[in-house]
């Protein structure tokens, strides 16, 4: 029913839109290489196929430690974990640290990473410099913190852009 001022009532406008939409063909979809998708619209959600990161990961070069022990003085250094490797020698021992590179999996038992710039090296050991402190979780990204398996990363209708 048309209003006297030429404006369509809300309920009638909805009915008109739905009637016209019902007559439209479903838009076709296609699969393209990612580099060919700029300006395109996602027809399906992009879903995380695994937790990201898939393990607790160091965000800095430094030393994996138990934060509560790091303030207590020297920690003996047991070895090194590079990115792409895992610590193979069991859980972090009490009173110890493991040198770790950015991106490497955290050794079992470690709860923080002290940045290499914040320690003093002393013949096979390290200790925090000056008044430095460290908290559990510092310089660590926990498993699944960036994305959880099954969660939509990009939703239907997202326009692909840089």
Note whether residue 88 is domain-resident. Answer: yes
Note whether residue 103 is domain-resident. Answer: yes
User: Residue 62 sits in which domain range?
Assistant: 57-141
Based on the structure, what is the number of domains in the chain? 1
Note whether residue 127 is domain-resident. Answer: yes
Note whether residue 133 is domain-resident. Answer: yes
> What percentage of the chain reaches a pLDDT higher than 90?
80
At 114, list the tokens: 């002290």
Note whether residue 46 is domain-resident. Answer: no
CA-to-CA dists, residue 8 to 5, 15, 20, 21, angstroms: 9, 11, 16, 18
Note whether residue 146 is domain-resident. Answer: no
pLDDT digits (tens, 9 = 90+) for 29-68: 899 999 999 999 999 999 999 999 999 999 999 999 999 9
pLDDT digits (tens, 9 = 90+) for 104-151: 999 999 999 999 999 999 999 999 998 899 999 999 999 999 999 999
Q: Find the CATH number of the domain harbouring 120.
A: 2.170.190.11
Note whether residue 152 is domain-resident. Answer: no
Note whether residue 22 is domain-resident. Answer: no
pLDDT digits (tens, 9 = 90+) for 77-115: 999 999 999 999 999 999 999 999 999 999 999 999 999
Burial letters 19-56, b for 16+ CB under 10 A, else e: eeeeeeeeeeeeeeeeeeeeeeeeeeeeeeeebbbeeb
């Amino acid at each position: 029913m048309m209003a006297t001022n030429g404006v369509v009532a809300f309920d009638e406008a909805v009915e008109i839109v739905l009637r016209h939409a019902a007559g439209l063909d479903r838009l076709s979809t296609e699969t393209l290489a990612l580099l060919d998708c700029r300006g395109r619209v996602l027809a399906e959600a992009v879903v995380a196929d695994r937790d990201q990161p898939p393990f607790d990961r160091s965000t800095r070069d430094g030393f994996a430690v138990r934060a509560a022990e790091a303030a207590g003085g020297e920690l003996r250094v047991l070895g090194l974990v590079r990115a792409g490797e895992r610590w193979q020698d069991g859980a972090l021992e009490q009173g110890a640290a493991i040198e770790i590179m950015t991106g490497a999996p955290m050794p079992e038992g470690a709860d923080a990473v002290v940045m290499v710039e914040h320690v003093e090296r002393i013949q096979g050991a390290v200790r925090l410099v000056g008044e430095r402190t460290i908290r559990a979780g510092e310089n660590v990204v926990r498993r699944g913190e960036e994305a959880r398996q099954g969660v939509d990363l990009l939703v239907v209708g997202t326009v692909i852009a840089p």
